[in-house]
Amino acid sequence: MDLNKQIKIFKRTLARRGLFLSAWLAGKLPLRLLRIVIHFLMAIAFRLVIKQRAIAKESLLIAFGKEKDLKEINRIVRNCFENIGEGMIEMLYFLNHPDKVFGQVVVEGKEYLDSALKEGKGAIAVTAHFGNFPLMMLYCALSGYQTNAIIRPTRDEVLEEYLLERRTRVGLKTVYAVPRKECVANSLKVLRDNELLFIPLDQNFGSSGGVFVDFFGQKAATATGPIIFSLRTKAPILPMFIIREQGNRHKIIIEPPLALEQSVHEDEMILFNTAKITKMIEQYIRKYPQEWGWMHRRWKSRP
């Protein structure tokens, strides 16, 4: 076994054990104390994740290089990492104490989701890796909605099995993003069963299978799944986001169903509507830049 592979295995094992330890603490300590612990640990971790900090800064310079100075960009990088740490510990806590979720989350636009599901064709919740988005999915599952999420499995099989079990236990169902053919079939089944399907649409999709649309003035490879699934099933598309508010409370915002722009050419229709959703995601990120995961290379694939 070469050295690089050994290092990767070591890092994954370390990360897995760190998460298991955090999950154990989340089951034993009150949330207020957990937040103190995570702030201390994140302050240390922030200095160690040099590569991730560099990627986040690079992404912010692409998006805001002409609008924000370096001081502001560095502040967003730090706040972004702090929010990720907060979100992780919150999810571990709420998975152990699901009854506590409703006291921390309020919903705006719930009537749009209820109305969409009354049509009997399922609902596509388009979202992003924005705010504590797993908490939004957990809230929907705990609220009685048949909730599914398209998720890319982790490279650590042991960790993925653990995470799948935890998600399933609280009623959040998983549709794996790969293999792609299986993902499509399972997604269509979910919608035809009149269930809710969450699709994050803010990650680099590679140079094949998706489309390139504008995102902060740069072309970004983007999945077309929500539009295609909606065309096949007539399921409405609901943009959904979650925002952290004062006192570490959260607000879920459910936008009205997206009115799909029509075209005689399906390819044009898919491209235009994917760009429309991406623009909405960009608007939320512009308003709350610290809420998005900047350490992802969104513009890695080029046209």
Mean pLDDT by 10 residues, the chain (303 residues): 76 84 88 85 83 96 94 96 91 93 97 98 98 98 98 92 95 96 97 98 89 97 97 97 94 96 88 97 98 96 91
Asked whether residue 299 is domain-assigned, the answer is no
246, amino acid identity: Q
pLDDT of residue 48: 83
Asked whether residue 296 is domain-assigned, the answer is no
Q: Give pTM, 2 decimals.
A: 0.94
> pLDDT, tens digit, for every residue of 238-256?
999 999 999 889 999 999 9
Angle at 59 (CA atoms; ends 214, 285), nearest 5 degrees: 60
Peptide bond into 30 cis (omega under 30): no
Using CA atoms, how far apart are residues 197 and 288, in angstroms rounded to an integer? 24
Into how many domains does the chain fold? Answer: 1
Asked whether residue 18 is domain-assigned, the answer is yes
Range of the structural domain that residue 21 is part of: 3-291
Asked whether residue 145 is domain-assigned, the answer is yes
Asked whether residue 267 is domain-assigned, the answer is yes
Asked whether residue 302 is domain-assigned, the answer is no
Asked whether residue 278 is domain-assigned, the answer is yes
Report the Cα 254 to chain-centroid distance in Å.
15
Asked whether residue 232 is domain-assigned, the answer is yes
